[in-house]
A and B are shown apart, each in its own frame.
Chain A
């Protein structure tokens, strides 16, 4: 199965990731210390970041498909419908435990490299290993 994204699609992803990473750095989310300030209930900034981002995205997901037939470079607007399964919740419990131990979630594990926070490489290694185990152990046809 061959699949190639066109160059404009790849450059778009690069630019979008750039904004995302800039925001993660500006908001301090690339610092596990800031995440722990939230998880220890001393500074609720993380909630503002997550809700601020979610609200922005909500407007985009609602408005853009109404005013455009298709994305600028892509074929169609994607959706990611989720079934309310046990899996979603069990996975969230496990993810929360991991996040509570490291103070780093997948976005900041990547963007953290850009602020020189090289120890996040340990997290990247862990995430890769965890994703691999998940794929090996829970694969269903």
Chain B
């Protein structure tokens, strides 16, 4: 079982979570960045910031995860990004 730590509920089985994709730098609000934000998502070989949701509690948060090792380095609520 792979664990993901929800910032509110603590470590839980990763099957309880929904993956919502990479945090996109481009904004869909800006017309010139629309295509970038829609189609050109992050796809690094390395650490990626991404949105996750703990489904039972509907907690949406950010995780930092390495896309080669699958190691989860940090999870936090979007309003409380650690320094």
A and B co-occur in one complex: no
By a beta-carbon cutoff of 8 Å, the part of chain A in contact with chain B is none
**Interface of B toward A, CB cutoff 8 Å:** none
